[in-house]
Chains A and B, each alone.
Chain A
Amino acid sequence: MAITQAAPVLAPTTTETALPARRRKKLTPSRLALLALKTLAGAVIVLLALFPLAWMVISGFKLRTEVIRTPFQFFPDVWEVQNYVQILSDPSFVRTLALTGFGAVIFTTGSIVINSMAAYAFARLEFVGKRIVWPLVLMTMFIPGMTILLTSFIVVTKLYMLDTLAVLILPGMATAAHVFFVRQFYLNIPSSLEEAARVDGCGRWGVYFRIFIPLSKAPFVVVGIGSFMAYWNSFVWPVLTITNPDLFQVQQYLANFRGERSSELGLLMAGSALAAAPIIVLFLIFQRQIIANIKMAGLK
């Protein structure tokens, strides 16, 4: 909106003589107004995007009586760390966090290893049946989640996997989209690099371990974050397959908490903030690679 109103002033200020001096534009009043509008718009966007999370974190600092109260108050009267301390000293919550983290690490590692191996095979090896196997793998990307959610549940039930860590880790580990993504990256690695290594006596496996893996940091980060997020944030699958409270996953735990102890909202918000924190931290650490990847994934 802000842009729509302010932009027309751009046009008259650019003349043909201005070309060499384009880089350092003069700060005319209209430019200043445009800049102010843009800054304002940017600030509003940042605030709105982060507001719900801030609200969650702040509510965690409120006393039970304060979280929901009329008249509405944004900040607590007194900042209490009590909720955060209490939920962190609840053994069931800590165990849930640790267990979910443990599962997520195994899931993520496994996902990077197996999907990248498959990607290498599809990108660089000529093998019997490739023309059949590759489209089949790709096809799995287009199978709707709900259809196989129901029958996957039947399959894992028949495999006696209910209420085990394996049911959380194995089913989602192989992902065609990840194979596709890493393959795309491997296709762009110049084959001259590979040939040079082979001249030096590197076998096929050596090429994979000594050339491809060391070059794979960027796609591994992307696949890794994607897998970690998928595991950490998954809710419906654990709800279907895990009934033993000792094996509850963090999202399931929060949803259950909300159902059973609905009056302790401050505690719930503190728990939610703590459960969201690892993923936000991970994102902030790797934001550069993640954002760059979205550019790459954007259709090209």
Chain B
Amino acid sequence: MSALREAAAAPDARPVRSSARRRDSLMAYIMLAPVLVLLGTFVVWPAIQAIYLSFFDWSFYTPSQFVGVKNYADVLGDDRFWQAIGRGLVFVVMTVPVSLVLSFLIASLAVSVSRRVSTLLKISIYIPSVISGVIASITFVMIYDYSGGILNALINVVGLPNQAWLGDPRWALGAIALPAVWLGLGISTLIMIAALLDVPQSFYEAAELEGASWWQRTRYITVPQIKNVLLFLLVTGFVASIQQYELPLVMTAGGPQHATELPNLFIFNHFRKDTYVGYSIAAAMLLFAVLGSISSVIFRIVNSEKLVD
């Protein structure tokens, strides 16, 4: 349709248009040049190199040698890689559901109080999100300190003995999940608040007239209404969480006994130790593949449930 209309308008419009278009093109590329050059040099080129180098035995000091899929085979045959992926999934289970539930509850509270209180809530919950991973790590290491940290002081009150939160493989991953949730809660809560404000108020009024409880309103109105946002937060939360490595890098460097060596930290540590980068890059590519496929599975599961409803 629009093509037809354009064709009809074309005869007298064409000369003007094409010269304007040429001027536009020149201006456009002048304006685009910095972004295209920088993205090309520091994103696209490294990405192409990553694909390329993953098939080579390459280091800074020796000529590269084509090895086919050997790097990939090495990674796939390496138990430590799979353990790191498994640990990443455990970490996701520790962080994402907690974040979703907490941000839903906080958002529910924030939309039901006065504007001023709601602003205070939003600001306080968001402040941790602007803190760097390093500062969060330093602070939480203090909180977890064996002899003088507040966490052990708190559990002593209930009569439990001190724990080496970061030194004990049983606790270490959880001890990293806590600051991860703390850092990430702000943004998911604010997105959730926006979603809750979008649910038509009339639905709740009708439900109240029917005498529906908070739980019923949540179950039958709120959750179905904000389903897309929940799905969005679930997938982005998953992707962000499984890629976390700054916190364990600073807090534990992956220890004790690799208990906090999340996938990206595994790759990063490997990269720093091994001058042959092919393995590390192949591992990063594989992680990307695993990540993409799990995200799409989550997407499909949640979407198919939607069809059943």
B: residues with CB less than 8 A from A are 21, 23-25, 27-29, 31-32, 34-39, 41-47, 49-50, 53, 60, 105-106, 108-109, 112-113, 117, 120-128, 130-136, 138-143, 145, 147-150, 152-153, 156, 179, 182, 185, 187, 190-191, 193-195, 208-209, 211-215, 228-229, 232, 243, 245-246, 249-250, 264, 267-268, 271, 277, 280-281, 284-285, 287-288, 291
Q: How far is A276 from B133 in the complex, measured between Cα atoms in Å?
A: 11
Q: Chain A's nearest CB lies how many Å from the CB of B145?
A: 5
- Residues of chain B within 8 A of A291, CB atoms compared: 122-123, 126, 190
A255 at the interface (CB under 8 A from B): yes
Q: How far is A68 from B147 in the complex, measured between Cα atoms in Å?
A: 7
From known contacts A117-B34, A151-B49, infer whether A45 and B125 are also in contact, taking CB-CB under 8 Å: yes
Asked whether B131 lies within 8 Å of A11 as measured between CB atoms, the reply is no
A215 at the interface (CB under 8 A from B): no
Q: How far is A151 from B60 in the complex, measured between Cα atoms in Å?
A: 12
Q: How far is A295 from B31 in the complex, measured between Cα atoms in Å?
A: 29
- Residues of chain A within 8 A of B284, CB atoms compared: 144, 146-147, 150
Closest 3 A/B residue pairs (Cβ): A7-B214, A68-B148, A72-B153
Q: Chain B's nearest CB lies how many Å from the CB of A228?
A: 10
Asked whether A265 lies within 8 Å of B132 as measured between CB atoms, the reply is no
Asked whether B131 lies within 8 Å of A276 as measured between CB atoms, the reply is yes
- Residues of chain B within 8 A of A72, CB atoms compared: 148-150, 152-153, 156
Q: Chain A's nearest CB lies how many Å from the CB of B269?
A: 12
Q: How far is A114 from B185 in the complex, measured between Cα atoms in Å?
A: 31
Interface-centre pick from A53, A179, A232, A294 (highest chain B CB count, 10 A): A294
- Residues of chain A within 8 A of B214, CB atoms compared: 3-4, 7-8, 10
From known contacts A52-B139, A70-B148, infer whether A295 and B123 are also in contact, taking CB-CB under 8 Å: no
B-contact bits for A65-76, CB 8 A (1 contact / 0 none): 001111110100
- Residues of chain B within 8 A of A143, CB atoms compared: 43, 47
The chain A residue sitting closest to B21, CB to CB, is A126
Chain A: residues with Cβ within 8 Å of the partner, total of 99
From known contacts A55-B150, A146-B268, A294-B187, infer whether A171 and B24 are also in contact, taking CB-CB under 8 Å: no
From known contacts A125-B24, A272-B138, infer whether A70 and B49 are also in contact, taking CB-CB under 8 Å: no
Of A80-88, A89-97, A278-286, the one with at least 4 CB within 8 A of chain B: A278-286
Return 14 A-B CB contacts under 8 Å, by A number. Answer: A14-B209, A55-B142, A69-B148, A72-B152, A114-B38, A125-B25, A148-B46, A150-B284, A157-B60, A172-B42, A258-B250, A283-B127, A284-B123, A299-B228
Q: How far is A269 from B232 in the complex, measured between Cα atoms in Å?
A: 36
The chain A residue sitting closest to B141, CB to CB, is A258
Please tell me which one of the listed residues A150, A174, A268, A299 contacts residue B35 in the complex, with CB atoms under 8 A apart: A174
Asked whether A50 lies within 8 Å of B139 as measured between CB atoms, the reply is no
Beyond A52-B182, A171-B41, 12 extra complex contacts between A and B, CB < 8 Å: A1-B105, A3-B112, A49-B124, A114-B34, A140-B43, A143-B43, A147-B46, A149-B268, A179-B35, A232-B132, A233-B130, A233-B131
From known contacts A154-B49, A236-B246, infer whether A125 and B28 are also in contact, taking CB-CB under 8 Å: yes
A260 at the interface (CB under 8 A from B): no
A160 at the interface (CB under 8 A from B): no
A42 at the interface (CB under 8 A from B): yes
Please tell me which one of the listed residues B133, B271, B291 contacts residue A235 in the complex, with CB atoms under 8 A apart: B133
Please tell me which one of the listed residues A46, A59, A149, A154 contacts residue B142 in the complex, with CB atoms under 8 A apart: A59
From known contacts A8-B214, A126-B24, A140-B39, infer whether A251 and B132 are also in contact, taking CB-CB under 8 Å: yes
A: residues with CB less than 8 A from B are 1, 3-4, 7-8, 10-12, 14, 16, 38-39, 41-42, 45-46, 49-50, 52-53, 55-56, 59, 67-72, 74, 113-115, 117-118, 120-122, 125-128, 130, 133, 136-137, 140, 143-152, 154-157, 170-174, 176, 179, 204-205, 208, 229, 232-233, 235-236, 251, 254-255, 258, 265, 268-269, 272, 275-276, 279-280, 282-284, 287, 290-291, 294-295, 297-299
Asked whether A38 lies within 8 Å of B113 as measured between CB atoms, the reply is yes
Asked whether B268 lies within 8 Å of A236 as measured between CB atoms, the reply is yes
Asked whether B287 lies within 8 Å of A146 as measured between CB atoms, the reply is yes
- Residues of chain A within 8 A of B152, CB atoms compared: 72
- Residues of chain B within 8 A of A290, CB atoms compared: 126
Q: How far is A275 from B141 in the complex, measured between Cα atoms in Å?
A: 17
Q: How far is A94 from B194 in the complex, measured between Cα atoms in Å?
A: 40
Asked whether A53 lies within 8 Å of B139 as measured between CB atoms, the reply is yes
Interface-centre pick from A16, A67, A298 (highest chain B CB count, 10 A): A298
Q: Chain A's nearest CB lies how many Å from the CB of B299?
A: 14
Asked whether A7 lies within 8 Å of B213 as measured between CB atoms, the reply is yes
From known contacts A137-B35, A146-B268, infer whether A45 and B150 are also in contact, taking CB-CB under 8 Å: no
From known contacts A50-B127, A291-B190, infer whether A154 and B150 are also in contact, taking CB-CB under 8 Å: no
The chain A residue sitting closest to B187, CB to CB, is A294
Please tell me which one of the listed residues B142, B185, B211, B267 contacts residue A12 in the complex, with CB atoms under 8 A apart: B211
Q: How far is A266 from B35 in the complex, measured between Cα atoms in Å?
A: 43
Q: How far is A10 from B156 in the complex, measured between Cα atoms in Å?
A: 40
- Residues of chain B within 8 A of A145, CB atoms compared: 243, 264
- Residues of chain A within 8 A of B187, CB atoms compared: 294
